[in-house]
Each structure stands twice: as C-alpha cells, then as structure tokens.
Amino acid sequence: MEQFPRENMEDFIEMFRDFEIKKRDIGPAKEGKVTFKLPVAFTEMVLEETGLSFGAHLKKSPYANKVLHKGDKIRIDAAVVKGMFRGPVDSLTDHVAGLLRDVTGCAAIVMVGGFSESPLLQDTVRRKFPGMKIIGAVIFGHRPKVITERVSKWTYGIACTQTYTVGNHPASRKYVNVDGVEKVDDIFSVHVKVGQHLKLEEQQSCKTYQMASADLDSVTVFFYITKDCDPKFVDDPGCHKVGRLDVKVPGYGAERQVTVSMAFGKTETEGSAMVAATGEVVKTKLDFLDID
C-alpha cells in the first residue's frame, strides 16, 4: 500500500477524498452495501506485484461474500464498513471518558475535525455521554465563546539558560560562557503545567528572560511539551519540541530582556516573544503533528 501513493499520488488522493465523503454518510442504521472508488492503477499494481488479480485475492479472503469488485469500484457490506470505524470510535470515546474523570464542571463536548462529522462517532458520543451537551464544529465556529476554558493536556515551557548554582544544577551540565560566567543550558522553564485550567485566548504565564551572553544579537526560543508535571531539562525523556522563534535583540549586554508567553486558542496554541527594549513581538503556532 505504501508503494501506491508514491507512484500514483493523484489516484490515491481521489480515493482518500471518496473515503472522507463516505464516512460522513455511514450511520448506525446504514444497511446494504457502500460503494467506494478503487483506482484501476491500484488493481493493476496488485496484479503486477503479486501475480494475482485483486478479485482473486478477494475470493481467498474472509470478505469474499461481503465485498464485490467491478471495474474501478468496490461495494462493501455496511456492517463491514461500520466495523472499520468501531476501533477508532471506541478508542476516542474511552479517551474522552478518561479525561472527564479528571475534571469537574464540564457540561459540553466540542466535536471538531473531519472525523467529528461521522454519524457513527456522533451516535456513540451521545450514547456514552448522555448528560453532556454535544457541540459541533460549525456551532463552535459561529459561537466561539461557548467554550471559555480548557484543561491543559501537557506541561508547556521553553528551553532556557541559567547561571550555575551549586546544589540546584548538576555539575555535569556546567560550562563557562564567553563572558566567563558559569552557565547551564537546556533547562525546562515551565509556563503551564499539565492539568492546569486555561482561559482561552488569554496569555498564560508570561516570563522574562535575559540573554545567555552579552555579545548575542538574537535569541532562539524553543518551545517544549511533556507529560511530566515538574520537568528539569528539555532533553529529559518524554519532552518534545513543538516550536521555535528567532528573535532579533538590538544592543549589547547580558541584561537585555525578552518576555515569552503562550496563548491557547480554540484549536491552536501560540507562542510569542516580546523584546523589552523595542516592544517588538514575534509569534508562532506550536506544531503537534508528530506527537503521539
């Protein structure tokens, strides 16, 4: 399957789009068969790579009597299609149930993203959480103020440099910078802790930092997350880098300051840095795509 998108990206995208459309139409009451597009290029690749046609493979499979293949389409029993979604739906609702055990006063669930449009998922969520108000992405978009607070899934912070202090920092991490001062790099400076309640669209935990050395004309701010409530260093196990800011800082001297903050929006998290001397603000969106 990995070979197909590499060699036939347009067909793969078309097949994916068709699947995305169909999943929004398949509800718990769906019966009969569901038709999906199956590019001819895919069945040709199956024959070329295995020596057997797609139909021959299908007849040898447990789905021989549940899937029909003709030309560039396959028709699958609705029960089989619904079963394809059962694992992800159960996993998602179990995860939500776990989150709700750790919070109080939550009266609504906001469903966003493409999968939220699945009638199967919507039905399961309503049945599993009968006392909750279910809010769709469209309502959330038109009435964003229905959600004013969220609970942080992660501990957020940045990598910073501190002056070495005996008993507070490991001696193995100590070094002497160009100014002749003993320093320690890669300290996890916490801005938000896991489980903390966050007001949407408000800056969280602004912290001011000084330059690591007097001669620097810029600073790079790296943003990190972890499940640990009290991390020490950004290279500790479980820490993930999710963003960076490159900030020009005019002047000279280690006392120059940059203030870093984070803001948690409806669907995005933003990091920002403000240069104290000029008031210039640089922002970035934190990226969680590669985080499990």
pLDDT at 133 over 90: no
Tell whether 213 and 269 lie within a shared domain: yes
DSSP symbol at 61: S
The reply to whether 66 and 181 lie within a common domain is no
Length of the chain: 292
pLDDT digits (tens, 9 = 90+) for 79-111: 999 999 889 999 999 999 988 887 777 888 888
The residues facing 271 across adjacent strands are 262, 284
Whole-number Å distance between alpha carbons of 250 and 240:
30
pTM over 0.95: no
Give the containing element (helix H, strand E) for 182. strand 182-192
Q: Give tens-digit pLDDT for 221-259.
A: 999 999 999 999 999 999 999 999 999 999 999 999 999
Count of domains in the chain? 3
Residues 259 and 216 in one domain: yes
Write out the two tokens for 180: 């002749």
pLDDT at 107: 82
What single-letter DSSP state applies at residue 274? E
Lowest mean pLDDT among 81-85, 136-140, 186-190, 261-265: 136-140
Kindly state the helix (H) or strand (E) to which residue 126 belongs, with its residue range: helix 119-128
Q: Tens digits of per-residue pLDDT, 114-130?
A: 788 888 999 999 999 99
What mean pLDDT is predicted for residues 199-203? 77
How many other CB atoms are there within 10 angstroms of residue 242's CB atom? 21
Return the HEC string of 25-63. Answer: CCCCCCCCEEEEECCHHHHHHHHHHHCCCHHHHHHHCCC
| pLDDT score at 225 | 96
Asked if residue 258 and residue 163 are part of one domain, the reply reads: yes
Q: Which residues make beta-bridge pairs with 285?
A: 270
Are 226 and 277 members of one domain? yes
Do 160 and 213 belong to one domain? yes
Residues 129 and 227 in one domain: no
CB 150 within 8 A of CB 105: no
Is 290 inside any structural domain? no
Per DSSP, 156 falls in state E
